[in-house]
Amino acid sequence: MTFAWQGFLLDVPDDFDPVCLTGDRASGYARLEGDHGRAVQLRWMTLRGGGSLRATTSAYLARLERDARRQKLAFSSTIDDDGRYRYSGSVSAWGAGVALAERAFLIEASGKRKDSVLPLLRRALETLAPSDLWCVLGLALRLPQAVKLRRSKFLAGRTELEFQVPGILNAGTILAVRVGYAGRLLDGRSLSDWCRAALGWTRAEVVDEDSVKVRLRKGGREAVARFDQAEDRIVLVSSTSRRIEWKPRWDWIDWDAGYSEGEVAPSWSASEDAVSSATPQ
């Protein structure tokens, strides 16, 4: 399964879900957990002039050691010549430092004591790449890099991402929503009626519509939505920007990535304002 966030993507097992997403493009933290206690976590930060990947990794491990000492816990760590590291304390993990597009990534895999997590780490390292894709819990979008994530909200059967459009204050926002069990939600209603209710656009004009997709307009705002019958989901993308380049486009939605229906998202939400550094979680 592809997970894509804040300008990078990587591949994780299909049973993995995000349980923590914080920070922004410059620095942040993501943790994805699967069945049986396995997990992959990433920390990223901008590499400043003169900074080295090994120094970043060493500073991170030193910080973990200080935290362990404060808690009077044993801690040990090693760094190999190829950048891979291992530590053992209150938790144990294998990790590696990677430089990618002016950012440093610290990627770790962990599991239960007898689990072999090196294949999990290797899979993440081999697939890590820069990307303009956002892909999480069945919602996959390709948006221009200039947008900035304002908030994310994940509920059972529903994924929401809201982005700030670049420009002057109040230049507009883009909202992307994916809902599951769509046939049940429609329940005989047209897709346009469902979208009007979902957006609160009671008098929105239907610009174009067929049985599975629709474009709506209300004042300077526009929205597109599509009902994917095979996956029983609706993806809705709306924009409040009046600039033509920020009107919602069909090719912003990537239908080849994401979850199949039947996988249920955890109920939690996150905001880029929650944490803006790459400190350990």
Give 152-205 pLDDT, tens digit per residue: 999 999 999 999 998 876 789 999 999 999 999 999 899 999 999 999 999 999
Sorted by sequence, the CB contacts under 8 Å of residue 44 that are 6+ apart come out as: 6, 8, 23, 27, 28, 29, 103, 104, 105, 106, 278
DSSP states along the chain: -EEEETTEEEE--TT-EEEEEEE-SSEEEEEEE-GGG-EEEEEEEE--TT--HHHHHHHHHHHHHHHHHHTT---EEEE-TTSEEEEESSSEEEEEEEEETTEEEEEEEE--TT---HHHHHHHHHH-EE-SEEEETTEEEE--TT-EEEEEEEETTEEEEEEEPSSSTT--EEEEEEEESHHHHHTT--HHHHHHHHHT-TT-EEEEE-SSEEEEEETTEEEEEEEETTTTEEEEEEE---SGGGS--GGGB-TTSSPPTTPPPPSEEEETTS--S----
Quote the tokens at residue 110: 């962990």
Options 3.40.1000, 3.30.420, 3.40.50, 2.60.40; CATH of 2-133: 3.40.1000
CATH number of this structure's domain 138-264: 3.40.1000
User: 182: Cβ–Cβ under 8 A, 6 or more apart, which residues?
Assistant: 227, 228, 232, 233, 234
Q: What is the mean pLDDT of residues 39-63?
A: 89
Average pLDDT over residues 41-61: 88
Q: Which of 3-7, 33-37, 47-51, 196-200 has the lowest mean pLDDT?
A: 47-51
Measure Cα distances from 78 to 70, 88, 240 in Å.
Answer: 20, 9, 50
pLDDT at 65 > cutoff 60: yes
Q: Residue 50: pLDDT band by 50, 70, 90 thresholds? A: low
Residue 266's pLDDT is: 42
Residue 82 banded pLDDT, cuts 50, 70, 90: confident
* Residue 151 contacts residue 19 (beta carbons within 8 Å): no
Mean pLDDT of the chain: 88
pLDDT value of residue 267: 38
Every domain of the chain and the residues it spans: 2-133, 138-264
Q: How big is the chain, counted in residues?
A: 281
Same fold, 2-133 and 138-264: yes
In which band, very low, low, confident or very high, does the pLDDT at 18 lie, cut at 50, 70 and 90? very high
132, pLDDT greater than 60: yes
Residue 62, class by beta-carbon neighbours within 10 Å (0-12 exposed, 13-18 middle, 19+ buried)?
exposed
CA atoms within 13 A on the CB side of 228: 21
